Amino acid sequence: MQRYLYRTLAMDRRRFLRLSGLAAGAITLPTPLLAEQLARDPYAPLPSLAPTRAPVRVTGRVHVDGRGVGGVRISDGVSVVRTRPDGRYTLLADPLQPFVMVSTPAGHEPARNPSGTMRFYAPLTTETEQRMDFALRRTADDARHALLVLADPQTRDARDMGLFHAESVPSVLETVAALGDVPMFGVTCGDIMFDDLTLYPEYERAVTRMGLPFYQVIGNHDLVFTERTSEASAATFEQHFGPTWYSFDRGAVHYVVLNDVFWHGAGYIGYVGDRQLAWLAADLATVEAGAPVVVLLHIPPLSTMSGRAGQGSPNVSQSVANREALYRVLEPYDAYLLSGHMHELEHVSDGGATHIVNGAVCGGWWSGPICYDGTPNGYTVVEVQDSALTWRYQATGKPAAHQMRVYPRGADPKAPDEIVANIWAWDPAWTVTWFEDGVPRGAMARRTGFDPLSMELHLGPDKPAVNSWVDPVPTSHLFYATPSVGAREVTVEATDRVGRVYRETMRVAP
């Protein structure tokens, strides 16, 4: 998997100083006293190896055109404080944390990097006293707003990046135009790259073209694989995009970005660390119970792919191993968990939260027009009005109404007499019915199976031509019906959770 190894020198000096502090602590331990203590009581707590540096005292001000903004969250990723009415704050920052960040309040936007990615952070240095001011921009009322969730662009080389620019960027521009003057922003939900992190500037150029403010989530292919620790592996991502966990508000919604990719030096698992969970609890303590909280992370807290494939319990590289701890922190809120990673589209209800595992921008790793499960390459469009969220999947290069693909009788060899419809954005709140020659025939039967187009494009040792290791996966959003022998035409009608109706009609006889 580690096709491209890229090591950056960014922030190396600061990381070296932090690690040097740890090493020095180990070297100067009173080893004879330690041996004596172990001989007396081998279960006694050991002396701490943590550095003895004092917290960094950070002061500053949050303002709009020189006017202070009160009540704004400021954090180092561990502690959370709020600005005083005049916009001033004091934060005792953890010296091991790389950044101090502002959690932008509703109706405001932080500074942007030249590419359009958000600049809501400032790097901590080794100085014990630091000043960090954050200038915000007041925006239009954002009680109504929209976000585009782009999971897994996953560009590996110039070819892939060319497809991203030629296909995905124009699709986003069309969606933005269709939404009109609604305030909106984008979130790239991890695996921005496919290991070659030297391509980040090309992604940033795409953000510039799309014209939206963009936030980023770190994915397992956004890491420096030559590093031995999870913290160090994020260095290049941090150089370009800042912290790997943070929060902000838009309208009535509190948004949280998490880093749930734990790199252990020889691979990764889905995991949210203790320090991050503690920060999340402190951050959410400022949010009213019952409010909508949207969490964006790369690895889904729960993927059902292992179960559908007959592999039993969730794979720790495909789900968050300690998701129950995450659920407990989110329990008081109306929580939505938006992820990617799986290159398929799935809706899950687990831990009291609504999960959307987003289809991939790159589909099956830029090998063709669809993901493993037949979902088209694309992204999710979330629209918010006050506290109400609605969403739909947007297939790249297709109209918004393109929400299913209907296959003729026998397209699934295991169901030779049945038609099959892949309704990729289906969740249990949808209804799916069918009509034969205009006559309603009732609900279609949902079963787990393989999308026929995915089988055609992906199954076989030489398929697809690009990335022949891409294979179909069983999906649970297939619907079946058996037309009568003399039927001429079949219509499939799907109604989503907010009443939007999608139809596809197919001839079944000459």
Q: How high is the pLDDT of residue 9?
A: 27
The token pair at 110 is: 């932080």
Return d(Cα 475, Cα 477) in angstroms, integer: 6
Averaged pLDDT, 350-365:
97
Q: How high is the pLDDT of residue 126?
A: 87
Which residues pair with residue 138 across a beta bridge? 108
Q: How high is the pLDDT of residue 313?
A: 86
- Cβ distance 161 to 131 under 8 Å? no
> Nearest to residue 337, comparing CAs of 274, 272, 286, 289?
272
The gap from C-alpha 222 to its chain's centroid, in whole angstroms, comes to 12
Q: How high is the pLDDT of residue 54?
A: 87
Q: How high is the pLDDT of residue 224?
A: 96
Q: Is the pLDDT score of 41 beyond 80?
A: no
Q: How many CB atoms lie within 10 A of CB 357?
A: 27
Q: Is the pLDDT score of 378 beyond 80?
A: yes
DSSP string, 67-126: EE--S-EEESSS-EEE--TTSEEEEEE-TT--EEEEEPPTTEE-EE-TTSBEE-EEE--S
Averaged pLDDT, 96-114:
97
DSSP string, 428-455: TT-EEEEEETTEEEEEPEEEEE--HHHH
The length of the chain is: 510
Q: Is the pLDDT score of 68 beyond 60?
A: yes
Sign of CA dihedral 273, 275, 279, 282: positive
Return d(Cα 80, Cα 69) in angstroms, integer: 16
Cα angle at 393 between 319 and 391, to 5 degrees?
Answer: 85
The pairing of beta strand 334-339 with beta strand 353-357: parallel
State pLDDT tens for residues 152-188.
999 999 999 999 999 999 999 999 999 999 999 999 9
> Nearest to residue 420, comparing CAs of 312, 504, 343?
504
Q: How high is the pLDDT of residue 115?
A: 94
What domains, with CATH codes, occur in the chain?
Answer: 57-139 (2.60.40.10), 140-395 (3.60.21.10), 405-507 (2.60.40)
Q: Strand, coil or helix: what is 146?
A: strand
Rg (CA), the chain: 25
Return d(Cα 251, Cα 292) in angstroms, integer: 10
> Nearest to residue 360, comparing CAs of 347, 369, 351, 352?
369
State pLDDT tens for residues 305-341.
999 998 888 999 999 999 999 999 999 999 999 999 9
Which residues pair with residue 247 across a beta bridge? 256
Query: Would you place residue 112 in the very low, low, confident or very high pLDDT band (cuts 50, 70, 90)?
Result: very high
Q: How many CB atoms lie within 10 A of CB 283?
A: 21
Of residues 147 and 44, which shows the higher confidence score? 147
Q: Is the pLDDT score of 367 beyond 60?
A: yes
DSSP string, 418-430: -EEEE-TT--TT-
Q: Strand, coil or helix: what is 231?
A: helix
Q: How high is the pLDDT of residue 396?
A: 98
- Cβ distance 290 to 334 under 8 Å? yes
C-alpha dist (Å) from residue 202 to 118, 156, 209, 213, 373:
16, 11, 11, 16, 28
Q: Is the pLDDT score of 31 beyond 90?
A: no
User: What is the pLDDT of the chain when averaged over all its residues?
Assistant: 91
To the nearest whole percent, how much of the chain has pLDDT over 70?
Answer: 90
Q: How high is the pLDDT of residue 312?
A: 84
DSSP string, 295-309: EE-SS-S---HHHHT
Q: How many CB atoms lie within 10 A of CB 85?
A: 9
Averaged pLDDT, 376-383:
98
The token pair at 209 is: 């073209």
State pLDDT tens for residues 430-458.
999 999 999 999 999 999 999 999 999 99
**Residue listed under structure tokens 């995905």:** 168
Q: Is the pLDDT score of 3 beyond 90?
A: no
> Nearest to residue 10, comparing CAs of 162, 137, 198, 151?
198
Averaged pLDDT, 81-92:
98
Query: Would you place residue 14 in the very low, low, confident or very high pLDDT band (cuts 50, 70, 90)?
Result: very low
At residue 444, what are phi and psi to the nearest 5 degrees? Answer: -85, 155
The gap from C-alpha 393 to its chain's centroid, in whole angstroms, comes to 15
Angle between helices 169-179 and 200-210 (to 10 degrees): 30
User: Which burial class, exposed, middle or buried, applies to 194 when counting CB atoms under 10 A from its CB (0-12, 13-18, 19+)?
Assistant: buried
What predicted TM-score, i.e. pTM, was given to this entire model? Answer: 0.90
The gap from C-alpha 283 to its chain's centroid, in whole angstroms, comes to 19
Return d(Cα 14, Cα 8) in angstroms, integer: 13
